[in-house]
Structure 1
């Protein structure tokens, strides 16, 4: 996975077999998603990106470019016409410096001395030169699944001024963060809650935040919600126009602790709450995850988050795309 809409895939076989595989991929994406895509196939990732660019710009290729099936003279002619800034990883600033050295096209960069490129720029651009000449330098990268934290932070559509409103925020955000932990099969041992005003607020600035060491690694939405609400209550200064807030869970692990730590949380967590965050908390987490997967994120919530209507402070979403396929209220209406 390279980005939200782009991936690399290693293929083996003859050139014709690879071409057929590319056509099958393109057809499958269009049938499943309804979006036309282009597939570029070559011997390195950089050349595959270039091939994808060629496929996009030439409608006669029907969305597929396999460089090994192209006439070498035609391929070189295209490289000499495509600006060097179209190369994967070459930005505008690097492009200007390359132009100053007389390197204006992809063909020019491929013909450049790789040792000079490394001296003038970096080893990364040197690898690009090697890749443009068919030498693989960028291997497969495994998707990082061991993220160090789970964050749920948002800007509010309207300022939050009171403790009661901020309790709603913390309740909602803590449950969302707990749901993400459950979806990833992980547990957290540290929670950070934060809020903030605009740095340009005329009424004053405030950025309350605090960290809580959890009684044991957990993803229990009830415990996390209670702790988040209570912790923010301790540090929030009401009266300011808070425009953002968030809950961050860290100290992640794939297993809950075998024993609960004997920590003194004062009024933040009652001993009974710690007991509930064991088997009962796990069952609640699983149940809520199953309900939201089947009926949507707004189908269930605990306490202040179990609201049918979105609160006034909900995230700014004035530019959200219409959800024709997932929300009955946004189905298009056709008059005939």
Structure 2
């Protein structure tokens, strides 16, 4: 709803602003609106919503209602990780040539995937682990394995154990440029619980949530399980010394302007 400002002030401002100042009204749509005599924000706000929907679509109609002070566009649900699959994969900053190097990468990726599943209250029924050399490498090797998990889970221990099923296919000396895991058949957590004899003790202890909480407070390198927590950290991680500030998503990286 509009704040408690004087109506005449609001009208004057909206009459002075072209309709292109409204978020989502690009030049092409601006020209179409002008064809119906809608040139300012005020014109759009006072247009007949039913007619706007007929001429354009429901999105433009809702925008017109919002400009009038009628709530019509609710907050979008965060759908990150809420699809039918989840992938965690990175290209290495330097080639990994050992089985243990791939073991560490898969361990880290499995724990990251578990954190995402817990965040979105989901579990996975199937995991695929893979690795590969560069397409320009003379040694071409692209091992992969698909594992049907014993029960739908977000437990990092189970996911890591399944990801390590790829390791018998990894060969020392080959220069791997990439590895990752893909989780599919995602379900809402708590719907399909395994029978008591098949439940793992660490599944009920919320290990994934504990790891996520510690990493959130102390940093991603503060805690890890097994090979995912080996110190020092892996040398193959992506170089981020020149990473652009994430000013729109991280409070600590907001741009500071001094005048």
**Both structures adopt the same fold (TM-score exceeding 0.5):** yes
- Could you tell which deviates more after superposition, 290-299 or 225-234? 290-299
Map 1:153-192; keep pairs closer than 5 Å.
153-156=88-91, 158-160=93-95, 162=97, 164=99, 165-183=101-119, 186-192=122-128
Over 3 Å counting, the alpha-carbon distance change for 1:119 and 1:242 in structure 2 is farther
1:319 lines up with 2:246 in the alignment: no
Deviation (angstroms), 1:78: 0.8
Residue by residue over 1:6-54, the C-alpha shift from the partner in whole angstroms, topping out at 9 and shown as x without a partner, is xxxxxxxxxxxxxxxxxxxxxxxxxxxxxxxxxxx51xxxxxxxxxxxx
**Partners of 1:312 and 1:103 in 2: CA distance:** 58
Which of 182, 201, 204 does residue 279 from structure 1 map onto? 201
Deviation (angstroms), 1:125: 1.0
* Aligned twin of 1:91: 26
TM-score, reference length from structure 1: 0.56
**Partners of 2:22 and 2:47 in 1: CA distance:** 14
* 8 Å Cα contact 1:186/1:254 also seen in 2: yes
* Aligned twin of 1:296: 219
Map 1:106-125; keep pairs closer than 5 Å.
106-125=41-60
Residue by residue over 1:149-170, the C-alpha shift from the partner in whole angstroms, topping out at 9 and shown as x without a partner, is 5735243351545463333221
More strand by share: 2
Report the secondary structure of 1:79's partner residue: helix
Residue by residue over 1:292-320, the C-alpha shift from the partner in whole angstroms, topping out at 9 and shown as x without a partner, is 45543322223321222332221352315
Instruction: Answer 1 or 2: higher relative contact order, Cα 8 Å, separation at least 6.
Output: 2
Deviation (angstroms), 1:77: 1.6
* Aligned twin of 1:193: 129
TM-score, reference length from structure 2: 0.69
* 8 Å Cα contact 1:210/1:235 also seen in 2: no
Map 1:69-148; keep pairs closer than 5 Å.
69-70=5-6, 72-99=7-34, 101-139=36-74, 147-148=82-83
Residue by residue over 1:140-191, the C-alpha shift from the partner in whole angstroms, topping out at 9 and shown as x without a partner, is 6666699345735243351545463333221110012223334555533222
Report the secondary structure of 2:234's partner residue: coil
* Aligned twin of 2:229: 306
1:252 lines up with 2:176 in the alignment: no
- How many residues are aligned here? 243
